[in-house]
Amino acid sequence: MKIKKGNIIKPLYIFLVFMFLYIPIMVLIAFSFNESKLNVVWTGFTFKWYESLLHNEGILEAVKNSFVVAIISTVISVVIGTLTAIGLYKYKFKGKNVLDAILNIPLIIPEIVMGISLLAFFSIVKLPLGKVSLIIAHVTFSIAYVVAVVKTRLEGYDKSVEEAASDLGATPLKVFFNVTLPIIMPGVIAGGFLAFTLSLDDVIISFFVAGPGSVTLPLKVFSMVKFGVTPEINALSIIMVLTLVILGLSLALRNVNLNMKRIGVILTVIALAVSSTGYGIWAFAKDSEKPQQVINIFNWSEYLPQSVIDKFEQTYNIKVNYSTFSSNEEMLAKLMAGGGKYDLAVASDFMVEILKKQSLILKVNKDNLPNFKNIGPQFLGLPFDRDNEYSIPYMWLAGIIAYDSSKIPEGMITSYADLWRPELKNSLTVLDDQRAIIGITLKKLGYPLNETNPAALAKAKEELKKLQKNIKAYDSPKTSLINGESKVIFAWGAEGSLARRENPNVRYVIPKEGLFLQQDNFVIPKDAKNIKAAELFMNFIMEPEISAEISLHFPYGNPNIEAYPYIDKDIMEDISVYPPEEELKKGEYLKDIGDAVIIFDKIWSEVKQ
């Protein structure tokens, strides 16, 4: 029997489309059971990430915030959007076209522009950043989508049905609820689901308008990219997907005939199920004792373990609202807006200098920090804050080159200049940091890391353009080295150290031109409300055992010399984390380069294009 060609191609095409859509989810499911913390290498089967998820208050708090914001903003958006769509459809009035155009602006405007605009607006009206600002922002962009969907449903709407109901004596309110709303309900529900999905998934706008204690799940995941998203997120994603699948199958199997009452019941049950389950798990993860105070902390992503936060809360009965950022510039934007009201932040060396000049931070009373004596003298009195009046050292970092020795011969790479070798074409992953990458290019050319001479920067730009053919990605370098996508990386020493834990073939190079060094420091923002708690937290972090615990989770250089006896010997002897003293003396820290940063911005944008 002859089989028609079309009978094979059609199902094959559908199969391939479904595979394209669902293979990533299958991979997500598989790695939720992976023994390794990194989602790049399979090391064994385990359920520990599901158990860990139940005790990870940070993630569960983010999930709770996401659902609270999404549900409230969806309800408000649906009500306002539906009424707006009906009004625009039914009535003619002066300025209708202008209003319609304004409503479409959120559909076309870049999210980053909208996020910055809303941040500026909240700053002007003195509205603190938090859940309220998040809900207002999400309602702002969700309404446009609801209006668009409901207006589509209203196309071809037969107004005579309403007229007939009015002729039979129905009041306008009854006509709306008993006639108009049931007819457009599929559009209302579709708009609601779209608004809910957009709110739950938003990252960019949420970053600008979220404040202490209002970190959402997308922001939490985004902040974890620096070190790689852990399988806890995989486990959470699977739970969410399975919940939606079960609800969908339940409705399909029961062949639900949607009407107004059943729609209400279904939506209510779903909302109650999601909220009660989420709150139950979140409450399970929390300590039962209600804190008496709150401290709002703003730090780099993946830089402080949850266990340390938990110990501080238990010790002082102070609730920690922990928010994260992924660059110094992002942190600066939040502090300049003045809406975050953070009590403590972490800033890199050159950024401390900028914050001082702009009067965005307060002096630190070291008399209230008895553990300050634990900080090594080599980490104090640095050029950005000579007397440590404004900053307290937290961690320090060294930029190193790491490579896979199974692919790169030992001795082939000894300097920054070797990264330009033609053998490394499309094999290099580097930090997505303009000061770092332009800085090492300047070092290659024999200039200081903080060189601002226009002629030198012009040479650096041309040299950096030549490097582009070797660069595979500006990303989290560690992950690409582990999974084999890159042969060589330029990254922080901690990333090289973590990569070596997963791949014993990883080797380090301390560039002969000199190390790129960075020190991150605690600072107290000028708008801090709980300075006492900020001092308690800094002093707590400087406890030797606590400081050593941070190094165990995130092996950056630790300035707390009293913590060294408590830090694993393998970490202390790892030259990617603690380079030799003679190499440190040759290294350079970044400095505030003033208006020259504009030239750096221009170089970076031109090169990456």
Which band of pLDDT confidence, cut at 50, 70 and 90, is reported for residue 397?
very high
Position 174 scores a pLDDT of: 86
Separation of alpha carbons 389 and 234, rounded Å: 43
Position 282 scores a pLDDT of: 47
Higher pLDDT, 28 or 202: 202
- Return the amino acid letter for 360: L
Q: What is the pLDDT of residues 379-388, one digit of tens each?
A: 999 999 999 9
Torsion over CA: 298, 299, 305, 311 (sign) = negative
* CA 90 and chain centroid, separation: 43
Position 224 scores a pLDDT of: 73
Q: What is the pLDDT of residues 588-603, one digit of tens each?
A: 998 999 889 899 999 9
Higher pLDDT, 89 or 308: 308
Query: Is a pLDDT exceeding 70 seen at residue 289?
Result: no
* CA 461 and chain centroid, separation: 29
Structural contact between residues 576 and 555, judged by C-beta atoms closer than 8 angstroms: no
Query: Is a pLDDT exceeding 50 seen at residue 277?
Result: no
Query: Is a pLDDT exceeding 70 seen at residue 266?
Result: no
Query: Is a pLDDT exceeding 90 seen at residue 256?
Result: no
Query: Is a pLDDT exceeding 50 seen at residue 130?
Result: yes
Residue bearing tokens 């994603």: 237
Query: Is a pLDDT exceeding 90 seen at residue 369?
Result: yes
Separation of alpha carbons 205 and 136, rounded Å: 11
User: What are the tokens at 345?
Assistant: 């932040």
Position 272 scores a pLDDT of: 53
Structural contact between residues 489 and 511, judged by C-beta atoms closer than 8 angstroms: no
Q: What is the pLDDT of residues 506-526, one digit of tens each?
A: 999 999 999 999 999 999 999
Range ranked top by mean pLDDT from 45-54, 128-137, 245-254: 128-137
Structural contact between residues 401 and 412, judged by C-beta atoms closer than 8 angstroms: no
CA distances, 389 to each of 378, 533, 590 (Å): 16, 18, 19
The average pLDDT across 543-555 equals 94
H runs (alpha helix) in 317-451: 328-337, 349-357, 434-444
Return the C-alpha torsion angle 593, 596, 597, 601, nearest 10: -150
Separation of alpha carbons 140 and 106, rounded Å: 8
CA distances, 442 to each of 14, 517, 609 (Å): 53, 15, 20
On the 0-12 / 13-18 / 19+ scale of CB atoms within 10 A, 257 is exposed
Position 290 scores a pLDDT of: 53
Position 558 scores a pLDDT of: 96
User: What are the tokens at 28?
Assistant: 């997500």
Structural contact between residues 316 and 363, judged by C-beta atoms closer than 8 angstroms: no
The average pLDDT across 522-551 equals 95
Which band of pLDDT confidence, cut at 50, 70 and 90, is reported for residue 275?
low
- Residues contacting residue 327 through CB under 8 Å, at least 6 positions apart: 433
231 closest CA partner among 403, 56, 453: 56
Structural contact between residues 405 and 534, judged by C-beta atoms closer than 8 angstroms: no
Residue bearing tokens 């290019």: 441
Higher pLDDT, 91 or 248: 91
CA distances, 481 to each of 222, 429, 492, 496, 498 (Å): 20, 8, 13, 9, 11
Torsion over CA: 146, 149, 151, 153 (sign) = negative
Position 38 scores a pLDDT of: 66
Position 30 scores a pLDDT of: 83
| Residue 299, strand partner residues | 324
Position 287 scores a pLDDT of: 46
Higher pLDDT, 178 or 255: 178
Which band of pLDDT confidence, cut at 50, 70 and 90, is reported for residue 288?
very low
Q: How many CB atoms lie within 10 A of CB 187?
A: 21
Position 253 scores a pLDDT of: 59
The average pLDDT across 306-328 equals 90
Q: What is the pLDDT of residues 36-57, one digit of tens each?
A: 766 666 778 888 888 888 877 7
Separation of alpha carbons 296 and 298, rounded Å: 7
* CA 408 and chain centroid, separation: 33
Lowest mean pLDDT of 67-71, 93-97, 173-177, 502-506, name the range.
93-97
The average pLDDT across 258-268 equals 52
Structural contact between residues 405 and 481, judged by C-beta atoms closer than 8 angstroms: no
User: What are the tokens at 33?
Assistant: 């059971």
Q: What is the pTM of this model?
A: 0.77
Higher pLDDT, 143 or 1: 143
Phi and psi dihedrals of 92, rounded to 5? -110, 130
Residue bearing tokens 């002066």: 94
H/E segment holding residue 501: helix 493-502
Lowest mean pLDDT of 217-231, 281-295, 447-461, name the range.
281-295
Structural contact between residues 339 and 136, judged by C-beta atoms closer than 8 angstroms: no
Query: Is a pLDDT exceeding 70 seen at residue 5?
Result: no
- Average pLDDT in the chain: 85
